[in-house]
Amino acid sequence: MCGIVGYVGSQQAAPLLLEGLTRLEHRGYDSAGIGVLSGSGLKVAKRAGRVRDLAAALPARFAGRVGIGHTRWATHGPPTDANAHPQVDAAGRVAVVHNGIIDNAAALRRRLSDEGVQLASDTDTEVIAHLVARSVAATLEERVAAALALVEGTYGLAIVHADFPDRIVVARNGSPLLIGVGDKEMYVASDLAALVRYTTTVAHLQDGEMATVTAAGFTTYRQDLTATVTPAEELDIDPGAYDVGEHASFMHKEMLEQPDSAEHVLRGRLDDRFGTAHLGGLGLDARETREVRRVKVLGCGSAYYVGEMGASLIEELARVPADAEAASEFRYRNPVIDPDTLYVAVSQSGETADTLLAVQEIRRKGGRVVGLVNVVGSAIARECDGGIYLHAGPEVAVASTKALTNMFLGFALLALQLGRVRDLSIADGHRLIAGLRALPAQIGEVLKREEELRPLAERLAAAESLFFVGRVRGYPVAREGAQKFKEISYRHAEAYPTSELKHGPLALVSPAVPTVAIVPDDELVERNVGALHEIAARGGPLVVVTHAGVDLGEVAERPDVHRIDVPASERELDPILLTIPLQLLAYQAAVHLGHDVDKPRNLAKSVTVE
């Protein structure tokens, strides 16, 4: 969601801050601002709108070698210049940028107002600037710690003070924050994307930790100012992975990277000798794996829908009960945590607040939880008992494509390992391994049909509302397809089990409401084809995502019925191949409508607040 950057060194801060903010635009935001320290004090510039609007409005003389910047995704108050960050105190000496939510902000605002402070914004963040400014402690570190002692909520914070012009003080509680190490210069960011052009040596702050960052280095400590040890590490990341290159958008680039990223997640994890998977990161031996009696998958948005695909895979191959649940709802229903259940948390960023809180609830109650995450060192990865890294590489576009595909493959590996310690035969293990090895090339085959699908996507873009339907393995595919279409094309798209059409949705089927139907060549193909005839009989246009051998009957002759064939895989693995054309349709529809596919309105890549 919101993005933080900071710089301390010998260069002018403003250009570096603007560059960093531009690289954080994918996180979602509605205003931007920077603040720099110089010999003349603190200077702040901020604007509602895009980073380019801020850059255009920046004064010609905006010098300073210490600074912080922010892109804001509005929570408290609308996106206005006044509500943009940095937030400052009344004297203009303290500037604060903040990701997260201060839960007791209303009470703190009342307290400050009662003490005569004139609040200039609607934000929760402003209270921190005033609390730091009103502290009489000797050091900036003590002033920030005293302010945070009064604060309840989540935060990633970067704070500068005109009286301490050589440093930035940062703090983390529930919202990610990184420190980048350069040559006699240092960086701060909420996302590695803001740093990789300058350094890939980073330190990850832990929850409850603070740090002082100067040009000479950084020190870390707890809120009581007792020292901690947080080493910096060199990350094996190609900075070019964060550049869009020759592609029109990051989403387009990331879709086309799926064959390669799929190979990466499978590499070294397939065991031909025993027909199983090697997942040493789970921390489960064969005996512990056999003791698992149930699997519960937790995720949000697309991670939730691919979690449904994964739960189905696990139940089918391992024959243990498995289901998926929205992590955002999980802990609020006071769930029963079963010691025989393996909980699986799914998140591309590894920082999704709802999923992280669910993980913490499980661990608090003694449950075992493993993670499927894409970002090494992320909060969820650190909190879990073990996990499977997705190795998808950086994913910048808000709409997940290659990370989602690798999540599915991670679940396939998990299901294979769980199944082989139970009743899944070695022959079935070998069959699935062959299917997994074939998937990257098959994904590539589907992606080559991009231009062929463009006219169909443009027809769907003309509709104000669409249905996506599928059964059993196909239903989570339909849910993910509807998610992709609505989040980047802004068309209303709703998913239903095909079997539920007669129980309500059929009332809305008409020539104005197309249906995208998932019809794999499986044991339910006849029932699925029957449902297509019901839709066609009501005049509903159809897009059928299916396999080459499926006979759609006379419905295939209708001019408003369009067919997309995907390569056939093993039946258990079909869902991911059926998903790929839905990504292409959503992308082409959004492009046709003139939308920014990488930064859909009101959405963010990494949702770090509840």
Instruction: Please tell me whether residue 598 adopts helix, strand or coil conformation.
Output: coil
Residues, the chain: 610
Q: Up-side HSE of residue 42: CA atoms within 13 Å toward CB?
A: 27
Distance CA 10, CA 63 (A): 11
Which one of 296, 484, 599, 605 is the catalytic residue? 605
Distance CA 34, CA 257 (A): 34
On whether the CB atoms of residues 199 and 180 are closer than 8 A, the answer is yes
Catalytic annotation present for 384: no
Report in angstroms the alpha-carbon separations of 150 from 98, 105, 135, 145, 250. 16, 10, 12, 9, 41
Backbone angles phi, psi at 317, to 5 degrees: -90, -40
Report in angstroms the alpha-carbon separations of 112 from 97, 136, 427. 19, 16, 70
Distance CA 282, CA 289 (A): 10
Q: Which residues pair with 43 in a beta bridge?
A: 36
- 493-530 exposure pattern, b = at least 16 Cβ within 10 A, e = fewer: bbbbbbbebeeebbeebeeebbbbbbbbbbebbeebbe
DSSP letters for 448-468: TTHHHHHHHHHHHHT-SEEEE
Which one of 2, 43, 46, 599 is the catalytic residue? 2
Stretch (H or E) spanning 354: helix 353-364
Distance CA 531, CA 518 (A): 11
Cβ contacts of 130 within 8 Å, gap of 6 or more: 89, 90, 112, 117, 119
Backbone angles phi, psi at 46, to 5 degrees: -155, 150
- Catalytic residue IDs: 2, 605
